[in-house]
A and B are shown apart, each in its own frame.
Chain A
Amino acid sequence: GDSVTQMEGPVTLSEEAFLTINCTYTATGYPSLFWYVQYPGEGLQLLLKATKADDKGSNKGFEATYRKETTSFHLEKGSVQVSDSAVYFCALSPSGTSYGKLTFGQGTILTVHP
């Protein structure tokens, strides 16, 4: 079945450091790929998405590129801020299905220090 594997955390960085959170997936066909973020005490929020190979999703300085050849969707940000501290989830939606039927990675806790 489909699966998503995320880089294990927690990740601790200093403000303005470069961030990479690795995500690889296993799925048939061409799934849609997502990054969700959960801030303390809040629900998951969509951070960015990509629906086909070579698409780049971007939002709030975060980027991720859909790499079919390496089945990856790594999350990057050039300069993190304290406010980026949160849990990040990589997820996929199988091709041809509702976006609600998501398969998630285990989440990566990011802590950014001033």
Chain B
Amino acid sequence: GAVVSQHPSWVICKSGTSVKIECRSLDFQATTMFWYRQFPKQSLMLMATSNEGSKATYEQGVEKDKFLINHASLTLSTLTVTSAHPEDSSFYICSAPDRTTNEKLFFGSGTQLSVL
């Protein structure tokens, strides 16, 4: 079946640095990808919708300049956490819909970000 590969699976960085997370659709093309964030013991929250060839759509309350999203090709979307701070520490997950039906979502395995 379709697979979404997310990398890295975990990352530790110093406060003030930027971290890039990649999300690839391995055997299908994705014009749209979704980025979620999960705090411990809380639900996944949709952060933004990534659109190939155009600007991402951010959910209310999500800082566009903090969480930069780029969807440069039909198989790759990236999320860059800029000038990371400890409060950005979280679990980030990407997903992409089945392009033929847009009804089935495929998820990456997630990235655990820890900012020291």
Interface residues of A (CB under 8 A from B): 4, 6, 36, 38, 41-46, 89, 98-107
Contact = CB atoms under 8 A, between A and B. Distances in A.
A98 B109 contact: no
Interface of B: 4, 6, 32, 34, 36, 41-46, 49, 93, 95, 97, 102-110
Contact of A106 (B43, B46, B97): B43
B74 to A, nearest CB: 16
A50 B19 CA distance: 37
Nearest to B39: A106
Contacts of B102: 98-100
B41 A106 contact: yes
A43 B43 contact: no
Interface residues of chain A: helix, strand, loop or mixed (majority): loop
Given A99-B97, A100-B95, A46 B105 contact: yes
Contact of B4 (A36, A41, A43, A104): A43
Contact of B110 (A43, A89, A107): A43
Contact of A43 (B32, B42, B103, B109): B109
B11 to A, nearest CB: 16
Contacts of B44: 89, 102, 104, 107
A105 B106 CA distance: 18
Contacts of A103: 43, 46
14 contacts: A38-B107, A43-B93, A43-B107, A43-B109, A44-B93, A46-B104, A46-B105, A99-B102, A99-B103, A99-B104, A101-B34, A104-B44, A107-B43, A107-B44
Contact of B108 (A43, A89, A104): A43
Given A43-B6, A106-B42, A100 B105 contact: yes
Nearest to A36: B107
Contacts of A43: 4, 6, 93, 95, 106-110
A82 to B, nearest CB: 21
B97 A100 contact: yes
A6 B4 CA distance: 26
Given A98-B32, A100-B34, A100-B49, A44 B43 contact: no
